[in-house]
């Protein structure tokens, strides 16, 4: 069986899952709050409405009056990502224990809230007409504003992983710098041109039209139960692809994951997103720039952007302060692309730049040594930030 066949099979399974799961007005697909209460921490849940009418569920471990931090998960992920390890190993709990008021964001379409604008429920293609552009321009600002308004904070801290860092790099307008004390960018991603990941590169090579024909224009949902069943089969026939998937999902240093915790992990991961979000990443692998979604034709781009090509995001205009936390073995936030990102940001924006040679993409959230290796640096970044 060729690698391509395996990928096509995976996509086919994703499609079947899609058909099964397309029903309206579902409750949150997973109970992330249970991870918080189960560990004995206080929980609040808040619904935040975006300017275009999506409702986003945020979980909070409240510490009223304390400095507020907003954590934003990555691609096909959810707020659970900050909470799946033991409390003293998971960044969400560690931040609370360190005295912060901790807020967890969920991007549109990730299964935590299924409510879209009127007439666009999840069974309609219009619900899924988004990529990380809209997470950056609409979800992130709505959640930042909500957290600030609810807590009365002048400034909050922003912690992103992977796509959650793209949302900051693409979405923070120069005027927002005043409301963000500092951005901690874990496995930072802007352009993904050097992505070194078989499945991504293979999909990137397929014509966009085909991918849309296979997957449709709606939800991209790799059902966790399907993935945990499919993965051993993929590993049986394609050792190197299997390694790459495990490396992406779990970190490349297998000694660094708690395999006995996999059942908890796969209860929450992966989360759904839109096919358009996946296509936007596919486009990213094919371009050397950090740019908005390409609608595929001059007329469609003009209709959306009033220009023939997608606009570029201007990293040189980034007005905030950021700490970069990157892994030498990260195949998605490839070290070459992270170096490029750093070179594009204003010199005085990068206040911390840590490279951990052995860490892969997911190690920053799930790695067993993240709490000893990375999180003390994140806490130091927050502590040194200007919150006034
Ligand atoms: C984390 O907590 C467990 C018990 O809940 C304990 O055995 C372990 O030593 C703790 N680890 C750290 C790094 O504090
Ligand atoms: C791994 O997960 C199991 C099950 O939750 C837990 O009992 C154990 O303490 C974890 N090991 C480490 C090193 O965190
Ligand atoms: C579209 O772009 C043209 C030329 O750049 C400009 O003159 C026009 O005002 C723009 N239209 C809108 C609606 O922004």
Dump the DSSP string for 185-238: EES--S--TT---HHHHHHHHS-HHHHHHHH-SSEE---HHHHHHHHHHHHHH-
Q: What is the pLDDT of residues 269-294, one digit of tens each?
A: 889 999 999 999 989 988 889 999 99
Specify whether the CB–CB gap between 219 and 271 falls below 8 A.
Answer: no
Tell me how far apart the alpha carbons of residues 164 and 171 are, in angstroms, rounded to a whole number.
10
Specify whether the CB–CB gap between 275 and 128 falls below 8 A.
Answer: yes
- pLDDT value for 22: 46
Backbone angles phi, psi at 322, to 5 degrees: -140, 145
State the Cα angle at 197 between 195 and 203, rounded to 5°: 90
| Shortest-distance atom of ligand 2 to CA 264 | 5
Q: Is residue 283 part of a domain?
A: no
Task: Tell me, yes or no, if 217 is annotated catalytic.
Answer: no
Least Cα distance to 58 among 13, 11, 12, 92 occurs for 92
Q: Is residue 287 part of a domain?
A: no
Q: Is residue 343 part of a domain?
A: yes
Specify whether the CB–CB gap between 32 and 59 falls below 8 A.
Answer: yes
Which CATH number characterizes residue 336's domain?
A: 3.40.50.1820
Residue 270: asked if its preceding bond is cis (omega within 30°), the reply is yes
Tell me how far apart the alpha carbons of residues 168 and 217 are, in angstroms, rounded to a whole number.
26
CA 307 to ligand 3 centroid distance, Å = 8
Tell me how far apart the alpha carbons of residues 266 and 317 are, in angstroms, rounded to a whole number.
38
Three-state DSSP class for 143?
Answer: helix
Backbone angles phi, psi at 251, to 5 degrees: 100, 150
Q: Is residue 280 part of a domain?
A: no
Q: Is residue 370 part of a domain?
A: yes
What's the alpha-carbon Rg for the chain, to the nearest Å?
19
Task: Tell me, yes or no, if 121 is annotated catalytic.
Answer: no
Least Cα distance to 368 among 90, 98, 32 occurs for 90
Determine which one of 223, 330, 337, 363 is catalytic: 330
pLDDT < 50: residue spans in the chain: 1-9, 11-24
Specify whether the CB–CB gap between 241 and 199 falls below 8 A.
Answer: yes
Least Cα distance to 155 among 47, 43, 70 occurs for 70
CA distances from 162 to 146, 188, 225, 326, 379 (A): 22, 5, 23, 10, 19
| Tokens 């991209």 sit on residue | 220
What are the residues facing 186 on neighbouring strands? Answer: 161, 325
Instruction: Using CB atoms within 10 Å of the CB of residue 307, give its burial: 0 to 12 exposed, 13 to 18 middle, 19+ buried.
Output: exposed
Specify whether the CB–CB gap between 333 and 195 falls below 8 A.
Answer: no
Residue 88 beta carbon below 6 angstroms from any ligand 1 atom? yes
Q: What is the pLDDT of residues 139-156, one digit of tens each?
A: 999 999 999 999 999 999
- pLDDT value for 255: 64
- pLDDT value for 267: 84
Q: Is residue 293 part of a domain?
A: no
Q: Is residue 377 part of a domain?
A: yes
How many domains does the structure of the chain reveal?
A: 1
- pLDDT value for 235: 64
> What is the best residue among 89, 255, 258, 372 to mutate for testing ligand 2's pocket, by most ligand atoms within 8 Å of CB?
258
Task: Tell me, yes or no, if 162 is annotated catalytic.
Answer: yes
Non-local (6+) Cβ contacts of 289 within 8 A are: 191, 312
Tell me how far apart the alpha carbons of residues 191 and 279 are, in angstroms, rounded to a whole number.
14
- pLDDT value for 264: 82
pTM: 0.90
Atom 10 in ligand 2: which residue has the minimum CA distance? 258
Q: Is residue 281 part of a domain?
A: no
Q: What is the extent of the structural domain holding 266?
A: 3-274+312-384
């Amino acid at each position: 069986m060729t690698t391509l066949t395996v990928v096509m099979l995976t996509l086919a399974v994703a499609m079947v899952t899609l058909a099964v799961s397309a029903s309206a007005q579902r409750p949150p697909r997973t109970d992330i709050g249970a991870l918080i209460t189960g560990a004995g921490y206080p929980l609040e849940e808040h619904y935040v409405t975006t300017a275009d009418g999506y409702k986003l569920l945020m979980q909070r471990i409240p510490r009223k009056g304390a400095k507020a931090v907003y954590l934003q998960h990555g691609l096909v992920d959810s707020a659970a990502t900050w909470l799946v390890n033991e409390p003293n190993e998971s960044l969400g709990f560690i931040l609370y224990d360190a005295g912060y008021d901790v807020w967890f964001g969920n991007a549109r379409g990730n299964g935590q809230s299924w409510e879209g604008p009127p007439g666009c429920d999840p069974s309609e293609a219009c619900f899924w007409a988004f990529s990380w552009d809209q997470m950056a321009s609409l979800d992130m600002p709505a959640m930042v504003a909500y957290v600030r308004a609810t807590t009365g904070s002048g400034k909050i801290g922003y912690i992103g992983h992977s796509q959650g860092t793209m949302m900051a790099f693409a979405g923070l307008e120069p005027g927002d710098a005043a409301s963000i004390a500092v951005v901690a960018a874990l496995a930072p991603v802007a352009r993904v041109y050097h992505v070194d990941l078989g499945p991504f590169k293979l999909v990137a090579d397929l014509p966009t039209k085909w991918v849309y024909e296979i997957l449709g224009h709606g939800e991209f949902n790799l059902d966790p139960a399907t993935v945990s069943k499919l993965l051993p089969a993929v590993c049986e026939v394609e050792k190197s692809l299997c390694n790459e998937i495990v490396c992406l999902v779990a970190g490349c240093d297998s000694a660094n994951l708690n395999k006995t915790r996999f059942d908890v992990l796969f209860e929450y991961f992966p989360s759904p997103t839109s096919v358009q979000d996946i296509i936007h990443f596919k486009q990213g692998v094919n371009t050397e720039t950090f740019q908005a979604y390409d609608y595929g034709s001059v007329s469609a781009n003009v209709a959306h952007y009033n220009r023939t090509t997608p606009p570029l995001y201007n990293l040189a205009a980034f007005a905030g302060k950021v700490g970069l936390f990157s892994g030498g073995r990260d195949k998605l936030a490839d070290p070459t692309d992270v170096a490029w990102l750093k070179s594009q940001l204003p010199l005085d924006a990068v206040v911390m730049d840590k490279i951990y040679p052995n860490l892969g993409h997911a190690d920053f959230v799930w790695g067993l040594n993240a709490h000893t290796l990375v999180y003390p640096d994140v806490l130091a970044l927050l502590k040194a930030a200007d919150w006034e």
